[in-house]
């Protein structure tokens, strides 16, 4: 399975370099693949690096990937699958605070 966020390049000397894919989905399937990968990069285990990262570093990492999610949303695609970060279906956090404060659950209860 390929990563929609990064790709690896090996130069003529065998050195590996990591580059970012442009975030520009054309279909819902492409958008969902990006959201799935972002969900992995943005989950607490990843952003806190298994307990090694500070809160400040975790927020910075989360915000870095959140900008990519916002790009997908701005292109007209919402997640159609749930994950640790993108829950409930169609939810994209607006900030670290919005993700952490539980408002996504309160707002969902108000809709039902």
71-78 long-range CB contacts below 8 Å, 24 or more apart? 71/23, 72/23, 72/25, 72/31, 72/34, 72/35, 75/24, 75/25, 75/31, 77/25, 77/28, 77/31, 77/32, 78/31
Q: How confident is the model at residue 102 (pLDDT cuts 50, 70, 90)?
A: low
d(CA 54, CA 48): 7
The predicted-structure confidence for 50-95, as pLDDT tens digits, reads as follows 899 999 999 999 999 999 999 999 999 999 999 999 988 999 999 9
Q: What pLDDT score does 100 carry?
A: 84
Global confidence as pTM? 0.85
The predicted-structure confidence for 24-47, as pLDDT tens digits, reads as follows 999 999 999 999 999 999 999 999
């Amino acid at each position: 399975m390929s990563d929609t966020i990064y790709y690896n390049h090996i130069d003529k000397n065998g050195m590996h370099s990591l580059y970012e894919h442009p975030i520009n989905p054309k279909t819902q399937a492409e958008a969902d693949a990006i959201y799935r990968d972002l969900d992995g990069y943005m989950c607490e285990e990843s952003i806190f690096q298994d307990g090694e990262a500070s809160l400040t570093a975790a927020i910075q990492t989360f915000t870095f990937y959140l900008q990519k999610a916002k790009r997908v949303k701005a292109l007209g695609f919402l997640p159609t699958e749930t994950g640790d970060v993108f829950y409930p279906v169609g939810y994209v956090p607006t900030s670290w605070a919005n993700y952490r404060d539980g408002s996504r659950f309160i707002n969902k209860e108000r809709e039902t």
